[in-house]
Amino acid sequence: MATQLLRYSDAAELLQRYIGRIQPQASSQSLPLNETSGRILAQPIHADRDQPPFPRSTRDGFACRALDANTHQFLRLAGQIHAGEDPSAIGSGEVGSGEVWEIMTGAPVPAGADAVFMVEHAEYAASLNPSPSPSQDSAGLESGQAHTAIYDPTTRFVRLPTARMASAGDNIVPAGSEARAGDLIVPTGTRLGAAHIAIAAQCGYAQLAVYARPRVAILTTGDELVPVEATPSPNQIRNSNAPMLAALVAAAGGEPIILPTVPDAEEPLNAALRQALDADLLLISGGISVGRFDLVEGALARAGASFHFRGVAIQPGKPVAFGQIPRENAPELPVFALPGNPLSSAVTFQLFAAPVVAALGGNLAREARFAQAQLTAPWRGKPGPIRFLPAHCDFTLTPQVTLIPWQGSGDLAAFARSNCFAVMPGDGEETPAGTPIPILLID
Amino acid sequence: MATQLLRYSDAAELLQRYIGRIQPQASSQSLPLNETSGRILAQPIHADRDQPPFPRSTRDGFACRALDANTHQFLRLAGQIHAGEDPSAIGSGEVGSGEVWEIMTGAPVPAGADAVFMVEHAEYAASLNPSPSPSQDSAGLESGQAHTAIYDPTTRFVRLPTARMASAGDNIVPAGSEARAGDLIVPTGTRLGAAHIAIAAQCGYAQLAVYARPRVAILTTGDELVPVEATPSPNQIRNSNAPMLAALVAAAGGEPIILPTVPDAEEPLNAALRQALDADLLLISGGISVGRFDLVEGALARAGASFHFRGVAIQPGKPVAFGQIPRENAPELPVFALPGNPLSSAVTFQLFAAPVVAALGGNLAREARFAQAQLTAPWRGKPGPIRFLPAHCDFTLTPQVTLIPWQGSGDLAAFARSNCFAVMPGDGEETPAGTPIPILLID
């Protein structure tokens, strides 16, 4: 039976094809820039002018003509420019032959200059006597003695020592080299992070249009479940999947709507499905394994559901199903039936449902996120499906990942000690310690 | 000069030592469980009872004595138990010798049974005639014909075919095997994710105490800066670092407080520093390179600041400094002086300031987060410090990372195309394509 299940890669591909057909969200709102982090951009961001708008010095130093600097003669200090100043309003308005201007990081490079040499590399003089020839050794430069002379108000001349050469363009970012006025800088559908907010600010966007968060209905089923506030009998458990899925939905960019828990019976399940028809996505947790009291499939069938996939060869999470329910006067409602064990629910949500939540919110590029880390101890599993096992990664410069011992996909205590899922092969071979393995990021 | 700078690893170690001395936040609040995602836990979470509270079946199948199942004789179907039911109230209250009970995933395993065999593996009969002997081939099993018989209300007997063996413990999670009543499950100081919220729900925590977010003052300096709403002159730029740092602070768990932008002049800087003394952490952006108009160091010196480090051998971000300012009637105010170029600010914030924000918020375990991905194209840099270069990782099962061409640490357009920083060595050697390299996660 397991061999007839869809492979993970095929399920992921099916999912991406589905996501490719999702229409961008129609509904959006305008928010102050500082409130847009993590939201999905509903408009393009264009450069309002060339970036940078002027040739920008990347260093504190001296703007010059590179050919002049490479004579290693003292050059006349003819101007000084700070960030924010207009070079054309200073002195002659340009760096002449045989001249330098002192320039600060971020300042516009004046006309005439084609290079900036760094203040740390300069030598200074108050007059051209008694020592007009280039320094014969660079000890003074290295110890910083020459550098301190800049603070002497008598300084009138600056040179680049023979140990250094200048090239045209040194320490200058040309105007428009980062972006041209009108260029698309951040496309619609981007999940906004600090970098996008920074460039939006740079381009003058005090407000940004962002898409509405998709409404994700969460339906948990099971006769054994009681609410978190209740005291369960010895054979009942509290409903942990609803708050867990709500947190995962919010992290994926959705607005969770927790529906009342439904017992394992036909009519309440039918009613709950009808209640969920207003949402943009439905997550059903539990009730989809093979036993006769798994009623979710029946309820979905009665609601006219069709399926993109039913079951994927992964562990945990094998019974996961993805389909859609027809609606009157509305597009079909996408629905995930997630296995009821909490780790199975979490893994299948991250792998399959999170990208759909993101896409319904206008972010078409979001997929399950993997990175790599080195396995700390050898592992061998029985031949079977690809595994997603609770694990702890130290996320250091040489990231190491350790599997967390667990009692199966109901073991929330093990899940709470993990910070990722290690992706382990189903080939039955040993994975030696030190092997770089994929990890599913969950944070 | 560069060789005298602190190495990155030494700076990171200094920082961790500082973080180790931070006193946990005193201030906390109680929030409904559903509002705690991403917050820092200010109380321990203990198991309210054994987890699981009863021996739990992980499968739909048949609870039995393993020794009985291994006779491969038909066993009498003597009961049926669903999740949430009390086995002692069903039938004889236990599985007798020669008997099985039908059992659902998540249900308590009745007394007398020591194993569950899966419904997919069972064979059925309505009576013990005409075929009481074990099946001679498994074709019926594989094709699922035996399986379908369970839905027949005449079924009275079940057996495990000879191709399978049962062992005591099969498909049962013993009571208390995940956690014992009273066990510490989630320690104080944990950043709450979906797993922690799930187990808090399981243990009956409808509310959780979380620490107050640390207040992080953001002070940007520069004569060239105008607010995002303003139209800059050709030589001015809009302040992009303040909203960028605010987004990074919020992502790190802090509450950003954006102070008015300060020009490059002594008195306004002194005044701004005084204004920041109420915060839990101060970030100063800009004004710390080597030129004479870099006034931040002077202002910090006048405020009596001492430094843990001043300058780290990294690129970008070399001038980053971390220190503290004495306060009357309060502990010293930690302060980061971040370089003014936006990518330098972002990198140094993530490497050094984000862990301090987290620690001030009660989360002592947070460090800069790295993972690995494969470099898509060979790279060779000049010998120099360790690099943190804007890059795009595809975050697939075989994650690949590509460096983003950039015009240096002011290039926000390149930053906006990146989703991580690639960590590249400073040894001057070529890093071949396909090499797994560390990436600094920024999302």
Selecting from B183, B248, B292 the residue whose C-beta is nearest the C-beta of A150 gives: B292
- Is the Cβ pair B224, A173 closer than 8 Å? no
- Is the Cβ pair A202, B237 closer than 8 Å? yes
Compute the average pLDDT of residues A334-348. Answer: 95
- B92 and B11 co-located in one domain: no
- Is the Cβ pair A264, B83 closer than 8 Å? yes
- Is the Cβ pair B371, A441 closer than 8 Å? yes
For residue A191, the domain's CATH number is 3.90.105.10
Q: What three-state secondary structure class fits B236?
A: coil
- Is the Cβ pair A436, B104 closer than 8 Å? no
Please report, for residues A338, A339, B78, B436, the alpha-carbon distance to residue A283 in angstroms, rounded to integers and kept in the order given: 7, 10, 36, 37
| pLDDT tens digit sequence for B44-78 | 999 999 999 999 999 889 999 999 999 999 999 99
Contact A249, A281 (CB under 8 A): no
**Which sign, positive or negative, has the C-alpha torsion A176, B413, B395, A359?**
negative
- Whole-number Å distance between alpha carbons of B227 and B229: 5
- A421 and A376 co-located in one domain: yes
Note the pLDDT of residue B419.
96
Amino acid in the structure at residue B418 = S
Query: At residue A306, does pLDDT exceed 90?
Result: yes
- Is the Cβ pair A235, B52 closer than 8 Å? no
Query: If you write DSSP's letter for every residue of B359-427 in order, what string do you get?
Result: HHTT-TT----EEEEEESS-B---S-SEEEEEEEE--SSS-EEEEPP-SSTT-HHHHHH-SEEEEE-SS
Contact A196, B431 (CB under 8 A): no
In a domain, residue A437? The reply is yes
- B355 and B217 co-located in one domain: yes
- Chain B residues inside the 8 Å CB shell of A407: 173, 177-178
**Residue A180 has which token pair?**
């041209």
C-alpha distance from B275 to closest chain A C-alpha (Å): 21
- Chain B residues inside the 8 Å CB shell of A101: none
In a domain, residue A257? The reply is yes
Cβ pairs bridging A and B (under 8 Å): 348
In a domain, residue B285? The reply is yes
Note the pLDDT of residue A133.
46
Contact A73, A162 (CB under 8 A): no
Query: At residue A183, does pLDDT exceed 70?
Result: yes
| pLDDT tens digit sequence for A196-222 | 999 999 999 999 999 999 999 999 998
Q: Which of A47, A195, A185, A82 is nearest to B236 (CA)?
A: A82
Selecting from A185, A293, A415 the residue whose C-beta is nearest the C-beta of B416 gives: A185
| pLDDT tens digit sequence for B228-252 | 999 999 999 999 999 999 999 999 9
- Whole-number Å distance between alpha carbons of B357 and B344: 18
pTM: 0.92
- A219 and A348 co-located in one domain: yes
CA angle B363, B364, B368 (to 5 degrees): 90
Selecting from B201, B289, B397 the residue whose C-beta is nearest the C-beta of A438 gives: B397
In a domain, residue A101? The reply is yes
Query: At residue A173, does pLDDT exceed 80?
Result: yes
Selecting from A104, A147, A442 the residue whose C-beta is nearest the C-beta of B193 gives: A442
For residue B115, the domain's CATH number is 2.170.190.11
| pLDDT tens digit sequence for B145-184 | 444 455 577 889 999 999 999 999 999 999 999 999 999 9
C-alpha distance from B46 to closest chain A C-alpha (Å): 10
Q: What three-state secondary structure class fits A387?
A: strand
C-alpha distance from A440 to closest chain B C-alpha (Å): 8
Give the pLDDT band of residue A289 (cuts 50, 70, 90).
low
Query: At residue A286, does pLDDT exceed 50?
Result: yes
- Is the Cβ pair A106, B397 closer than 8 Å? no
**Residue B308 has which token pair?**
């843990």
- B78 and B137 co-located in one domain: yes
Output A216 or B129, whichever has higher pLDDT: A216
Selected for mutation to probe chain A from B224, B229, B344, B423 (highest A CB count within 10 Å) is: B224
What is the residue-averaged pLDDT of chain B? 91
> What is the percent of chain A with per-residue pLDDT over 70, rounded to a whole number?
92
| pLDDT tens digit sequence for A56-115 | 999 889 999 999 999 999 999 999 999 899 999 999 999 999 999 999 988 999 999 999
Amino acid in the structure at residue B99 = E
Closest chain A residue to the Cα of B399, Cα to Cα: A371
Output A295 or A342, whichever has higher pLDDT: A342
Q: Name the least confident of A20-34, A42-56, A373-387.
A: A20-34
- A321 and A298 co-located in one domain: yes
Selecting from A51, A223, A418 the residue whose C-beta is nearest the C-beta of B413 gives: A51
Q: What three-state secondary structure class fits B115?
A: strand
Give the pLDDT band of residue B223 (cuts 50, 70, 90).
confident
- Whole-number Å distance between alpha carbons of A374 and A129: 64
**Last residue of some domain: A145, A173, A201?**
A173
- Whole-number Å distance between alpha carbons of A379 and B311: 43
Selecting from A102, A247, A293 the residue whose C-beta is nearest the C-beta of B37 gives: A247
Residue with token string 């050697």: B429
CA angle A88, A94, A95 (to 5 degrees): 150
- Is the Cβ pair A37, B247 closer than 8 Å? yes
Query: At residue B103, does pLDDT exceed 80?
Result: yes
Query: At residue B109, does pLDDT exceed 90?
Result: yes
- Is the Cβ pair A178, B412 closer than 8 Å? yes
- B257 and B163 co-located in one domain: no
Alpha-helical regions (H) of B110-190? 139-143, 145-148
Selected for mutation to probe chain A from B105, B220, B261 (highest A CB count within 10 Å) is: B105
- Chain A residues inside the 8 Å CB shell of B262: none
In a domain, residue A8? The reply is yes
- A8 and A37 co-located in one domain: no
Compute the average pLDDT of residues A321-342. Answer: 94
Radius of gyration of chain A measured on its C-alpha atoms: 32
Instruction: Please provide residue B138's backbone torsions phi and psi, each rounded to the nearest 5 degrees.
Output: -105, 15
In a domain, residue A365? The reply is no
| pLDDT tens digit sequence for B419-437 | 999 999 999 999 999 999 9
Query: At residue B188, does pLDDT exceed 80?
Result: yes
- Is the Cβ pair A234, B83 closer than 8 Å? no
In a domain, residue B164? The reply is yes
For residue B227, the domain's CATH number is 3.40.980.10
- Chain B residues inside the 8 Å CB shell of A293: 82, 104
> What is the percent of chain A with per-residue pLDDT over 90, rounded to a whole number?
82
- B417 and B332 co-located in one domain: no
**Last residue of some domain: B330, B360, B390?**
B360
Note the pLDDT of residue B207.
98
- Whole-number Å distance between alpha carbons of A317 and A311: 8
Contact A245, A219 (CB under 8 A): no
Contact B27, B212 (CB under 8 A): yes
Query: If you write DSSP's letter for every residue of B270-283 in order, what string do you get?
Result: HHHHHHHTTSSEEE
C-alpha distance from A226 to closest chain B C-alpha (Å): 9
- Chain B residues inside the 8 Å CB shell of A244: 194-195, 197-198, 201
Contact A118, A111 (CB under 8 A): no
Contact B33, B201 (CB under 8 A): yes
Note the pLDDT of residue A366.
74
Other beta carbons within 10 Å of A141? 18
CA angle A376, A381, A386 (to 5 degrees): 95
Closest chain A residue to the Cα of B435, Cα to Cα: A436
C-alpha distance from B328 to closest chain A C-alpha (Å): 32
- Is the Cβ pair A205, B228 closer than 8 Å? yes
Instruction: Please provide residue A78's backbone torsions phi and psi, each rounded to the nearest 5 degrees.
Output: -110, 0
Give the pLDDT band of residue B364 (cuts 50, 70, 90).
confident
- Is the Cβ pair B194, A409 closer than 8 Å? no
**Residue A304 has which token pair?**
């006219």
**Last residue of some domain: B360, B381, B400?**
B360
Contacts of B331 (CB under 8 A, 6+ apart): B23
In a domain, residue B92? The reply is yes
Contacts of A112 (CB under 8 A, 6+ apart): A65, A94, A95, A96, A99
Note the pLDDT of residue A298.
87
- B84 and B220 co-located in one domain: no
- Is the Cβ pair B341, A87 closer than 8 Å? no
Note the pLDDT of residue A145.
42
The whole-angstrom distance between residue A192's C-alpha and the CA centroid of its chain comes to 8
- Whole-number Å distance between alpha carbons of B353 and B252: 9
- B45 and B192 co-located in one domain: yes
Q: Which of A278, A273, A327 is nearest to A296 (CA)?
A: A273
- B81 and B93 co-located in one domain: yes
Counting the structural domains of chain B, the total is 4
Residue with token string 């009275």: B156
C-alpha distance from B329 to closest chain A C-alpha (Å): 33
Q: Which of A62, A157, A55 is nearest to A102 (CA)?
A: A62
Contacts of B333 (CB under 8 A, 6+ apart): B276, B277, B279, B280, B281, B282, B324, B325, B327
Range(s) of the domain holding residue B226:
2-27+213-360
- Whole-number Å distance between alpha carbons of A273 and B349: 47
C-alpha distance from B319 to closest chain A C-alpha (Å): 12
- Chain A residues inside the 8 Å CB shell of B425: none
| pLDDT tens digit sequence for A258-268 | 999 998 888 99
Predicted complex: ipTM over 0.90: yes
- Chain A residues inside the 8 Å CB shell of B40: none
| Interior/surface letters A76-87, b for 16+ CB within 10 angstroms, e for the rest | ebbbbbbbbbeb
Question: Omega of the bond prior to A268 within 30 degrees of 0, cis?
Answer: no
Q: Name the least confident of A181-195, A232-246, A276-290, B317-331.
A: A276-290
Q: Name the least confident of A355-369, A397-411, B311-325, B383-397.
A: A355-369
Contacts of A271 (CB under 8 A, 6+ apart): none
